[in-house]
Amino acid sequence: MMGSVWNWIAAPRYGWQFAVFLCGALSLGCLALIMLTSTPPRYRKTIVAAVTFLAGLYYAFEFLIPPAFWPLEPPRNPLSEVQPLVATLTQIIWSFALLLGVWNLFVIHGRAVVKRGRGWCNSAAFFISFLAILGAGLLKDYTQGSTIRKASESVFTILFSGFLTSLDATMFSLIAFYIVSAAYRAFRVKSLEAGLMMAAAAIIMLALVPVGAEITNWLPQSGILSALRVERVGYWLLTSPNMAAQRAIAFGIAVGSLAMGLRIWLSLERGNFFDRQL
């Protein structure tokens, strides 16, 4: 049953059928939002929390319950059959979140341009660049005429590869100076821990340049003393203590992410969403 419904929803449509299907989907979405906003606030939060819990419960059942648990032949998880539909719904929700972010940018920069406050030129540059690359991308993908399509592709290439990529590289190059400044402040030897970090950083930097290998080039290539060569000490620092620390940090981040996910799933996290009237 769910498979046939999914096949009907996912079937490709063109022309007036696509327009009718799109208008119907938008109408259902607007109707759901109107019904949600017309609900009293004390029930509205309950509805949102219930929908959040059910959505998380589906993924828990779909991924954690083995197929052998279900009394079906052949053994399979029936929730996996609707996983493409749920994934599509998730993408739609992410699309609305992206649209909300773009709308917030338009509101913030629009106010700056209207009021002509400090830095309003930067806000005007945001609108110009956003609309320019958006228009060039749409014309490139949806125009049929060869002249317009080639012109839009050229404009899009100039804006994306010429401006955006170069600006990204410029921003990262500027960040490098801040990283050097932060490293200087961090490597000032004021304690034993700072001294150990400074020594490890110096060994690793020497191990990555040819000059560092020349310093201990007098040591043999094999044997016990070869372990004292700079490049081998640097490799050991990267693969043993450094890797262990990175795995510990990643494990801690994973546990924190799991805890935060559980709090959001169970609607225990309190923030702007639950602190204001919906």
What Rg do the C-alpha atoms of the chain give, in angstroms? 29
pLDDT above 70 for 86: yes
Is pLDDT at 274 greater than 60 in this prediction? no
CA dist., res. 202 & res. 211, Å (int): 12
Q: Which of 186, 215, 241 is the last residue of a domain?
A: 186
Please, what is the angle between helix 146-157 and helix 120-142, to 10°?
140
Nearest to 99 by CA among 134, 128, 132: 134
User: Are 254 and 222 within one domain?
Assistant: yes
Pair (139, 178) in one structural domain: yes
Best-predicted range by mean pLDDT among 10-14, 56-60, 175-179? Answer: 56-60
Q: Cβ distance 142 to 136 under 8 Å?
A: no
- Residue at which a domain ends, from 165, 186, 207: 186
Q: What is the pLDDT of residue 251?
A: 95
Q: Are residues 207 and 165 in the same domain?
A: no
Both 248 and 208 in a single domain?
A: yes
Beta strands in the chain (DSSP E): none
Domain hosting residue 162, numbered range = 118-186
Q: How many CB atoms lie within 10 A of CB 276?
A: 8
Residues 226 and 198 grouped into a single domain: yes
Give pLDDT tens digits for 24-83.
888 887 888 788 888 887 788 888 888 888 888 888 888 888 888 888 778 888 888 778
Counting the structural domains of the chain, the total is 2
- Model's pTM, two decimal places? 0.59
Mean pLDDT of the chain: 81
Residue 22 has pLDDT above 90, yes or no: no
Last residue of a domain, one of 136, 171, 186: 186
